[in-house]
Chains A and B, each alone.
Chain A
Amino acid sequence: MSGLIFNLFIFVLASFVGFELISKVPPTLHTPLMSGANAISGITIIGAVIIAGQIDQQVAQIIGFAAIVFATINVVGGFMVTDRMLEMFKKKEDNDG
């Protein structure tokens, strides 16, 4: 049970950090920020790897495999499109200036 309490502690504290991290974001950054944060939520890939890597149950491994595919799409695709968006953004700034 103490494990759960400890986990709750870090969950709540990390949430507070998350709330404070973002304050004034210019509208042009809304979509890239959303996209970048979305890629981070693909962190669940770590859970997927742990499920797919165990050898207790093959069915669970297969579910883990599907989870890895899903999460990897989220992570790889997410960081790449964010980078593409921000690259555009940079160019636009240069043109304006």
Chain B
Amino acid sequence: PNIIQLCYLIATGVFIFGIKRLGSPATARSGNQLAALGMLIGLVVTLFDQQIMSFEYIIGGIVVGSAIGVFAAKKVEMTAMPEMVAIFNGFGGGASALVAWGEFVRISDPTLLGTQDLITIGLSILIGSITFTGSFIAFGKLKGFISGNPITFPGHNIFNALLTVGTLVLVGLLTVNPANQLVFWLLFGIALLLGILTVIPIGGADMPVVISLLNSYSGIAAAMAGFVINNNLLIISGALVGAAGLILTNIMCKAMNRTLTNVLFGAFGGSDSSDSGPAS
């Protein structure tokens, strides 16, 4: 187990170097390869974890996922990269939600779970699900399956705010009464809906910024999943991506002379074009 932790430490360092190198043109490609190496180290040493007793599902899942990933990555055209990234990101967020769900199901009596486990399970499902559906809407908008224009209805903003508060209340209820299946499924369902409703009012031209923000979310979702299963590497890598993604989102907004608030809620302000507006 100490060896595993040590290898996790190495993987963490490799990720940090990788992200750093990705930020500069001359070193970007090697940075990406470094990050991939870090992932490989993390994955391989995890297979020696004592909790792992059966390998059929693991091998099967990796084979199926790799086949789909390789196929998609080879087939995508260069001009369609942002939407491809959105799809991949959606799957990543979805995976974090599934990890939390799996842990919830694994403990046959959820009342045995501690408060901290339940809070992080709830948050992981919440953020992971928002990332999942939000990313697919972003994909649809870029691909033209969904209108690139902002799609809103009266009171959209307030409705989203209410849903957000509602999901947080549900996370609280889940913590208090984990045996209540209804709370669990409501949380899952509303989180999925919230992902759709958050992204759909944003115009297609702003999708790269949204994808970058969702990328940050998927990092946070991974970190929450790390809290759920008590795994350092997940927490650290997730936090790194969450924070770096947020900074990148900000940089992208600035490059467009916009603020993030303006991008996210701009469709409600009436003026939809690139008026930079007062920073709030």
Contact partner, B116, options A4, A53, A59, A67, Cβ 8 Å: A4
Cβ–Cβ contact A19 & B243, under 8 A: yes
Cβ–Cβ contact A22 & B244, under 8 A: yes
Residue tally, chain A, CB below 8 Å to B: 83
Q: Which residues of B come within 8 Å of A, CB atoms?
A: 15-16, 18-20, 22-25, 28-29, 31-33, 35-36, 38-39, 42-43, 46-47, 49, 51-55, 57-58, 60-62, 64-66, 68-70, 72-74, 76, 78, 81-82, 84-85, 87-89, 91-96, 98-99, 101-103, 105-106, 108, 116, 208, 211-212, 215, 218-219, 221-223, 225-248, 251-252, 255
Q: How far apart are B70's CB and chain A's nearest CB, in angstroms?
A: 6
Does more than half of chain A's interface fall in helix, strand or loop, or is it mixed?
helix
Asked if A94 CB lies within 8 Å of chain B CBs, one says no
A69 and B61 alpha carbons, distance in the complex (Å): 5
Cβ–Cβ contact B54 & A53, under 8 A: yes
Contact partner, B69, options A31, A41, A76, Cβ 8 Å: A76
Most buried by A among B33, B62, B78, B234: B62
Contact partner, A70, options B39, B95, B243, B251, Cβ 8 Å: B95
Interfacial chain B residues near A71, Cβ < 8 Å: 65, 91-92, 95
Contact partner, B227, options A7, A30, A37, A84, Cβ 8 Å: A7
Q: Which residues of A come within 8 Å of B, CB atoms?
A: 1, 3-4, 7, 10-12, 14-19, 21-57, 59-90, 93
Q: How far apart are A49's CB and chain B's nearest CB, in angstroms?
A: 5
Interfacial chain A residues near B222, Cβ < 8 Å: 41-44, 47
Cβ–Cβ contact A49 & B69, under 8 A: no
Q: How far apart are A54's CB and chain B's nearest CB, in angstroms?
A: 6
Contact partner, A65, options B33, B61, B230, B242, Cβ 8 Å: B61
Most buried by B among A35, A51, A81: A51
Cβ–Cβ contact A39 & B231, under 8 A: no
Interfacial chain B residues near A65, Cβ < 8 Å: 57, 60-61
Interfacial chain A residues near B54, Cβ < 8 Å: 53-55, 61
Cβ–Cβ contact B22 & A7, under 8 A: no
A64 and B95 alpha carbons, distance in the complex (Å): 9
Cβ–Cβ contact B78 & A14, under 8 A: no
* Minimum-distance CB pairs A-B, first 10: A72-B65, A18-B243, A68-B61, A53-B52, A76-B69, A77-B69, A80-B73, A74-B92, A67-B98, A14-B239
Cβ–Cβ contact A38 & B215, under 8 A: yes
14 contacting pairs across A/B (C-beta < 8 A): A15-B239, A17-B243, A25-B248, A30-B208, A35-B85, A39-B32, A41-B237, A41-B241, A46-B233, A56-B108, A68-B58, A74-B91, A74-B95, A79-B33
A27 and B233 alpha carbons, distance in the complex (Å): 30
A66 and B76 alpha carbons, distance in the complex (Å): 23
Q: Which residue of B lies closest to A45 (CB)?
A: B43
Cβ–Cβ contact A47 & B15, under 8 A: no
Given that A57-B105, A63-B101 are contacting pairs, would A73 and B72 also be in contact in the complex, using a CB cutoff of 8 Å? yes
